[in-house]
Amino acid sequence: MRAITLAGVTVAVAVHIWAWLPLRSDPVAAPSLSAPQQSEAPTDSPDFQAGAFDVALWRPPAVDRASAEASENRAAPPPPRVTLQLVGMIREGDSLAAALYDPGAGKLVTAREGETVAGHEVTTIDLTGVDLSVGGRAVHLPLNQDRIAKAQAP
Protein backbone atom coordinates (compact mmCIF):
# COMPACT_ATOMS: atom_id res chain seq x y z
CA MET A 1 0.00 0.00 0.00
CA ARG A 2 2.89 2.34 0.75
CA ALA A 3 4.42 1.63 -2.61
CA ILE A 4 1.26 2.66 -4.45
CA THR A 5 0.95 5.87 -2.42
CA LEU A 6 4.63 6.71 -3.02
CA ALA A 7 4.25 6.03 -6.77
CA GLY A 8 1.13 8.26 -6.91
CA VAL A 9 2.86 11.14 -5.09
CA THR A 10 5.90 10.80 -7.38
CA VAL A 11 3.71 10.97 -10.52
CA ALA A 12 1.80 13.98 -9.13
CA VAL A 13 5.03 15.86 -8.37
CA ALA A 14 6.44 15.01 -11.80
CA VAL A 15 3.27 16.31 -13.52
CA HIS A 16 3.39 19.57 -11.53
CA ILE A 17 7.04 20.15 -12.38
CA TRP A 18 6.39 19.45 -16.06
CA ALA A 19 3.36 21.82 -16.08
CA TRP A 20 5.31 24.73 -14.60
CA LEU A 21 8.41 24.42 -16.76
CA PRO A 22 8.65 27.21 -19.35
CA LEU A 23 8.17 26.25 -22.96
CA ARG A 24 10.84 26.94 -25.52
CA SER A 25 9.93 30.13 -27.35
CA ASP A 26 11.16 31.35 -30.69
CA PRO A 27 12.29 34.95 -30.87
CA VAL A 28 9.69 37.22 -32.44
CA ALA A 29 10.54 40.54 -34.02
CA ALA A 30 8.54 43.35 -32.44
CA PRO A 31 6.66 45.56 -34.89
CA SER A 32 7.59 49.19 -35.26
CA LEU A 33 5.28 51.56 -33.42
CA SER A 34 6.07 54.62 -35.49
CA ALA A 35 3.34 56.49 -37.36
CA PRO A 36 2.74 55.32 -40.92
CA GLN A 37 4.22 57.47 -43.60
CA GLN A 38 1.99 59.28 -46.06
CA SER A 39 2.27 57.78 -49.49
CA GLU A 40 1.77 59.46 -52.79
CA ALA A 41 -0.57 56.66 -53.94
CA PRO A 42 -4.01 57.66 -55.21
CA THR A 43 -6.86 57.29 -52.70
CA ASP A 44 -9.09 55.39 -55.12
CA SER A 45 -7.34 52.07 -55.07
CA PRO A 46 -8.11 49.82 -58.01
CA ASP A 47 -8.11 46.89 -55.58
CA PHE A 48 -11.26 48.12 -53.86
CA GLN A 49 -14.51 47.60 -55.75
CA ALA A 50 -17.57 49.01 -54.00
CA GLY A 51 -19.90 47.20 -56.40
CA ALA A 52 -18.90 43.91 -54.79
CA PHE A 53 -21.06 44.87 -51.80
CA ASP A 54 -24.21 45.42 -53.87
CA VAL A 55 -25.56 41.95 -53.24
CA ALA A 56 -29.06 40.94 -52.21
CA LEU A 57 -28.38 39.04 -49.01
CA TRP A 58 -32.02 38.23 -48.32
CA ARG A 59 -34.77 37.57 -50.78
CA PRO A 60 -38.32 37.55 -49.45
CA PRO A 61 -40.20 34.35 -50.20
CA ALA A 62 -42.41 34.43 -53.25
CA VAL A 63 -46.12 34.68 -52.48
CA ASP A 64 -48.51 33.00 -54.84
CA ARG A 65 -51.75 34.72 -55.78
CA ALA A 66 -53.99 32.16 -54.10
CA SER A 67 -52.45 32.61 -50.66
CA ALA A 68 -52.39 36.41 -51.06
CA GLU A 69 -56.10 36.46 -51.91
CA ALA A 70 -56.87 34.05 -49.09
CA SER A 71 -55.16 36.31 -46.57
CA GLU A 72 -57.10 39.31 -47.90
CA ASN A 73 -60.41 37.44 -47.80
CA ARG A 74 -60.00 36.08 -44.30
CA ALA A 75 -63.16 35.90 -42.33
CA ALA A 76 -63.76 38.82 -40.04
CA PRO A 77 -63.17 38.10 -36.37
CA PRO A 78 -66.21 36.61 -34.66
CA PRO A 79 -68.62 39.13 -33.20
CA PRO A 80 -68.41 39.79 -29.49
CA ARG A 81 -70.07 37.30 -27.18
CA VAL A 82 -73.58 38.24 -26.06
CA THR A 83 -73.49 38.84 -22.33
CA LEU A 84 -76.89 40.48 -21.99
CA GLN A 85 -79.47 38.59 -19.95
CA LEU A 86 -83.20 38.86 -20.57
CA VAL A 87 -84.84 39.48 -17.22
CA GLY A 88 -88.42 40.12 -18.30
CA MET A 89 -90.93 41.83 -20.58
CA ILE A 90 -92.67 45.10 -19.92
CA ARG A 91 -95.99 45.79 -21.60
CA GLU A 92 -96.53 49.48 -22.29
CA GLY A 93 -99.91 49.90 -23.94
CA ASP A 94 -99.78 47.92 -27.17
CA SER A 95 -96.00 47.63 -27.32
CA LEU A 96 -93.48 45.50 -25.48
CA ALA A 97 -90.14 46.49 -23.96
CA ALA A 98 -87.45 44.12 -22.77
CA ALA A 99 -85.75 44.35 -19.41
CA LEU A 100 -82.13 43.41 -20.10
CA TYR A 101 -79.34 43.08 -17.56
CA ASP A 102 -75.91 44.19 -18.79
CA PRO A 103 -73.30 42.53 -16.53
CA GLY A 104 -70.50 44.57 -18.11
CA ALA A 105 -72.06 47.83 -16.95
CA GLY A 106 -73.85 46.29 -13.96
CA LYS A 107 -77.15 47.91 -15.03
CA LEU A 108 -80.70 46.85 -15.75
CA VAL A 109 -81.82 48.49 -18.99
CA THR A 110 -85.21 48.65 -20.68
CA ALA A 111 -85.04 48.53 -24.45
CA ARG A 112 -87.53 48.77 -27.30
CA GLU A 113 -87.24 47.53 -30.87
CA GLY A 114 -84.59 49.46 -32.82
CA GLU A 115 -82.63 50.54 -29.73
CA THR A 116 -79.03 49.50 -29.06
CA VAL A 117 -77.89 48.09 -25.73
CA ALA A 118 -74.19 47.36 -25.09
CA GLY A 119 -73.47 47.24 -28.83
CA HIS A 120 -76.39 44.88 -29.56
CA GLU A 121 -79.34 46.13 -31.63
CA VAL A 122 -82.76 44.97 -30.45
CA THR A 123 -84.51 43.80 -33.62
CA THR A 124 -87.67 42.06 -32.35
CA ILE A 125 -89.43 41.71 -29.03
CA ASP A 126 -92.23 39.20 -28.43
CA LEU A 127 -93.52 37.22 -25.47
CA THR A 128 -91.09 34.35 -26.10
CA GLY A 129 -87.94 36.45 -26.05
CA VAL A 130 -85.81 39.10 -27.70
CA ASP A 131 -83.94 38.98 -31.00
CA LEU A 132 -80.65 40.88 -31.06
CA SER A 133 -78.33 41.69 -33.93
CA VAL A 134 -74.64 41.91 -33.17
CA GLY A 135 -71.97 42.19 -35.85
CA GLY A 136 -74.39 41.00 -38.56
CA ARG A 137 -75.30 37.91 -36.54
CA ALA A 138 -78.79 37.31 -35.12
CA VAL A 139 -79.09 36.05 -31.55
CA HIS A 140 -82.27 35.06 -29.75
CA LEU A 141 -82.52 35.53 -25.98
CA PRO A 142 -85.43 33.37 -24.80
CA LEU A 143 -87.55 34.36 -21.84
CA ASN A 144 -87.42 31.73 -19.10
CA GLN A 145 -91.02 30.46 -19.23
CA ASP A 146 -90.58 28.30 -16.09
CA ARG A 147 -89.75 31.36 -14.02
CA ILE A 148 -92.84 33.15 -15.33
CA ALA A 149 -95.07 30.21 -14.46
CA LYS A 150 -93.66 30.12 -10.90
CA ALA A 151 -94.15 33.87 -10.50
CA GLN A 152 -97.81 33.67 -11.64
CA ALA A 153 -98.63 30.65 -9.42
CA PRO A 154 -100.56 31.50 -6.21
pLDDT at residue 36 in the model: 63
Residue 121 forms part of a structural domain:
yes
Which CATH number covers residue 125? 2.30.30
Contact 97, 110 (CB under 8 A): yes
Among 13-22, 88-97, 140-149, the least confident range: 140-149
Residue 154 has pLDDT above 80, yes or no: no
pLDDT grade for 40, boundaries at 50, 70 and 90: low
Residue 26, in any domain of the structure? no
Average pLDDT over residues 87-112: 87
Q: For 48-72, what is each residue's pLDDT tens digit?
A: 777 777 777 777 777 777 776 776 6
Lowest mean pLDDT segment, chosen from 6-20, 52-66, 68-82, 129-143: 68-82
Q: Please indicate, yes or no, if residue 54 is contained in any of the structural domains.
A: no
90 domain-assigned: yes
Is residue 94 in a domain? yes
Domain span at 141: 85-152
**Torsion over CA: 117, 120, 124, 128 (sign):** negative
96 in a domain, yes or no? yes
**100 in a domain, yes or no?**
yes
Percent of the residues in the chain that have a pLDDT greater than 70, as a whole number: 78
DSSP assignment letter at 127: T
Q: How confident is the model at residue 127 (pLDDT cuts 50, 70, 90)?
A: confident
| Choice among 28-42, 106-120, 125-139 with the minimum mean pLDDT | 28-42
In a domain, 24, yes or no: no
pLDDT for residue 108 is more than 60: yes
| pLDDT at position 44 over 60 | no
DSSP β-bridge partners for residue 116: 121
Q: Total domain count for the chain?
A: 1
E-only strand ranges, the chain: 85-92, 95-102, 107-111, 116-117, 120-126, 129-134, 137-142
- What pTM did the predictor assign? 0.45
